[in-house]
Amino acid sequence: MEIDKTTIADLLMFDSTDDSSVYNKLDLCSTTHGSEQLRINFATALKTQEEIVAVQQTLQLIIKKETDWPRQITNGTVMVVEKFYDTPISLIPAHPSAMETYSYKLLHGPDYALVIYSAKHCFDFIKGFQQLLKLFAADTVPAPLKKVLAEIEHIINKEQFAVVNKYRTSEELSNSQKLELAHFIRHTYKQNTLSLVVLYAQIDAWYGMAAAVKKFGLVFPEFVKSDEPVIEAEGLYHLLVQEPVAYDVTLNQKTNFLFLTGANMAGKSTFIKSVGASVFLAHIGMGVPAKEMKLTMFDGMLSNINVVDNIAKGESYFYNEVQRIKATITKISDGKKWLILIDELFKGTNVQDAMKCSSTVIEGLLKMKNSLFILSTHLYEIGDDLKKYPNIDFKYFETSVINDQLHFSYHLKDGISNDRLGYLILKREGVVDMLEKM
């Protein structure tokens, strides 16, 4: 699925300012490299349904094995093993006797201490991979995991690691055995070790994804084969909302355009981001926050949510809105399946101009049956003229006012909202009172 940086940012997949992002919420990896690989996974939507299903099956199998998951490979272990190659030390004897071990300790005390310490972590590092291979030995393993495990098996299938397989912990090894293991790891096995670090990063990324699915009660969506785009979700919600209200969503060729209205803070933006984030998570093989979800593969997703002006180029907010819509129309004219998310179209111009521009754009987009659209707006007045189109669905978020206090239900309802509560919010926040006292 094609997705640009703007859309990824709009959906809060990553957020550099704080921890408020989908990625940070779901990053339950045990190593730094695993988190780095997870970031790559989250930034790269898969291209085929077969790839997605294979990742889903990988995560499901890891969840099944979670209680028996080997814990030897920690972030600290990976760091020690990597640093072992960067630290200058005296040559480690290859097959030391007890006397040679004592001599190395006597003549190279600091180096000896470092080598013994590193050998313990190298033992745990290899032991962890041996345990991983045993964990999945009796299973039918999905293709992505099978490929990684095969590479691991090829790399660690060394006679020098028989000692690791023989003993349960590194404490059971003699110091001579630790030196011998450390010599092999440092002087013969460097490239293999670095390859194992990369391979474990992917294993850990999948483990982090699986752990997040289990922790947050996510469900794996079902992909359906169809020439027309489809999204059907029950109990969909946004991961970053602490007490979310769930939505039911249906978009298909019959009603491929959702016209969304409601007051400020009623939940329109959250709803749009909920749908977009879930569709994206589905396309990386991840579970989604919903009771149930079915969808087709999408060729791409584009959003128009947080458009900004460009002072350096002298470009206005409205101009950039127009350019984003222009780019969107160009993209979705290819006949492929797209999901388009638009929040408050044409905020950068006056109301009358915005109404005319919005109507023109919406009527044009309604002709495109190959894509699905969700568009929110305050311009409820344009809704009546759009009711003649059979493929548009009108939804709104209800707001009630009780004793000058706003109450948001965040429930999605059929119809068009004509709520205008901006002044009430201004008054509630004390701004009107402050101005009157000036």
The predicted pLDDT at position 16 comes to: 57
Nearest to 342 by CA among 323, 325, 327: 325
Answer whether residue 427 is part of any domain.
Answer: yes
**Residue 98 and residue 104: Cα distance in Å, rounded?**
10
- Of 182, 201, 216, the position where a domain reaches its end is 216
Report which secondary-structure segment, H or E, holds 88. none
Name the band, by pLDDT with cuts 50, 70 and 90, for residue 17. low
- Domain match, 152 and 251 both: no
pLDDT at 193: 97
Residue 275 has pLDDT above 70, yes or no: yes
E strands, 284-353, in order: 292-295, 300-304, 338-343
Shared-domain flag, residues 244 and 262: yes
Same domain, 54 and 190: yes
d(CA 283, CA 280): 5
User: Count of residues for the chain?
Assistant: 438
Task: Report if residue 8 sits inside a domain.
Answer: no
Shared domain for 276 and 228, answered yes or no, is yes
Asked whether residue 209 falls in the same domain as residue 320, the answer is no
> Measuring CA to CA, which residue among 284, 280, 250 is closest to residue 372?
250
pLDDT average, residue stretch 293-303: 96
Task: Summarize pLDDT for 219-250 with one digit per residue, the tens.
Answer: 999 999 999 999 999 999 999 998 898 999 99
pLDDT at residue 265 greater than cutoff 80: no
CA distance 224 to 283: 13
Q: Does one domain contain both 239 and 355?
A: yes
What's the distance, CA 407 to chain centroid? Answer: 32
Tell me if 266 is assigned to some domain.
Answer: yes
Question: 425 and 359, same structural domain?
Answer: yes
What share of the chain has pLDDT > 90, as a percent? 73
Residue 206: both structure tokens together:
């999948």
Backbone angles phi, psi at 238, to 5 degrees: -100, 135
pLDDT at res. 348: 73
pLDDT in the model for residue 311? 39
Helices (H), 85-189: 98-107, 109-135, 143-156, 162-166, 175-187
**Does any domain span residue 3?**
no
| Residue 403: predicted pLDDT | 66
- State whether 232 and 372 are in the same domain: yes
Nearest to 128 by CA among 149, 147, 159: 149
313 has pLDDT over 70: no
Q: Which of 14-23, 46-55, 310-319, 416-425 has the lowest mean pLDDT?
A: 310-319
Same domain, 268 and 368: yes
pLDDT band at residue 15 under the 50/70/90 scheme:
confident
DSSP-assigned beta bridge partners for residue 396: 261, 413
pLDDT at 109: 96
The whole-angstrom separation of Cα 205 and Cα 40 is 9
AA identity, residue 433: D
> In the chain, what are the helix, strand and coil shares in percent, each to the nearest 5?
50, 15, 35
Average pLDDT over the chain, rounded to an integer? 90
Residue with tokens 């029950």: 234
Residue 329's Cα: distance from chain center in Å?
27
Residue ending a domain, choose from 170, 185, 216 = 216
What pLDDT sits at residue 378?
84
Q: Is there a domain that residue 110 lies in?
A: yes
pLDDT of residue 389: 95
Residue 22 located in a structural domain: no
The domain that holds 261 is classified in CATH as: 3.40.50.300
Residue 90 is assigned to a structural domain of this protein: yes
Q: Find the domain containing 43 and state its range.
A: 31-216
| Range of lowest pLDDT (143-157, 350-364, 400-414, 421-435) | 421-435
- Which has the closest alpha carbon to 376: 233, 230, 250, 266? 266
Q: Is the distance from CB of 74 to CB of 30 less than 8 angstroms?
A: yes
DSSP code at position 106:
H
73 and 172 housed in the same domain = yes
How much is the pTM? 0.89
The bridge status of strand 300-304 relative to strand 338-343 is parallel
Q: Of 103, 248, 117, which is closest to residue 181 (Cα–Cα)?
A: 117
Q: How confident is the model at residue 192 (pLDDT cuts 50, 70, 90)?
A: very high
pLDDT tens string 355-388: 899 999 999 999 998 999 999 988 888 999 999 9
Q: Are residues 56 and 198 in the same domain?
A: yes
- Number of folded domains that form the chain: 2
Query: Which of the listed residues 216, 250, 276 is the one where a domain comes to its end?
Result: 216
pLDDT for 319 equals 82
Distance CA 388, CA 359 (A): 13
End-to-end CA gap in the chain: 55
Residue 97 CB: number of other CB atoms within 10 A?
Answer: 10
Say whether 235 sits in a helix, a strand or coil. strand
Residue 71 within a domain: yes
Which residues does 361 contact at the CB level (< 8 Å), separation at least 6?
325, 345, 346
Query: Taking residues 412-417, what's their average pLDDT?
Result: 88
Query: Poorest-confidence range of 6-20, 76-90, 235-249, 280-294?
Result: 6-20
Pair 178, 257 in one domain: no
